[in-house]
Amino acid sequence: FAAGMVGERFKSIDAIRDVECPIVIVHGDKDTIVPFAQGVALHEAANEAYYKRHPEQEEPDKAASRPHCTLAALGGIGHNDIPAPATIRAIHEARPEVVGPI
């Protein structure tokens, strides 16, 4: 029920398609409010739209480059219990230039 309400209230999947700056989605894989699958869908939609607008930036070797949108999956974590250190670490791993050394 709650997931349906969130999905209807927040049109994140539509909005994220227009974001130009790098994105890090931090999502607990035990989230019962916003299902993890919605985080995956958000991640895929962001990258798909960005690389459609900027095909020159899509690298054939994804391991050698940072994607526009990174999904940081936090194992065993729910919706309201994501610890700040885990969030900072996830952002640092995806975008070290944003957080700096930790």
In terms of residue numbers, what domain contains 19? 2-99
For the chain, what is the domain count?
1
In terms of Cα–Cα distance, which of 18, 87, 80 is closest to 46?
18
Phi, psi of 11 (to 5 degrees): -90, 55
CA end-to-end span of the chain: 39
Q: For residue 66, what pLDDT is reported? A: 78
Residues with Cβ within 8 Å of 34's Cβ and at least 6 positions away in sequence, in order, are: 3, 6, 27, 79
Residues with Cβ within 8 Å of 4's Cβ and at least 6 positions away in sequence, in order, are: none
- Kindly report the average pLDDT of the chain as a whole number: 85
The gap from C-alpha 43 to its chain's centroid, in whole angstroms, comes to: 5
Q: What is the pLDDT of residues 2-39, one digit of tens each?
A: 444 444 566 899 999 999 999 999 999 999 999 999 99
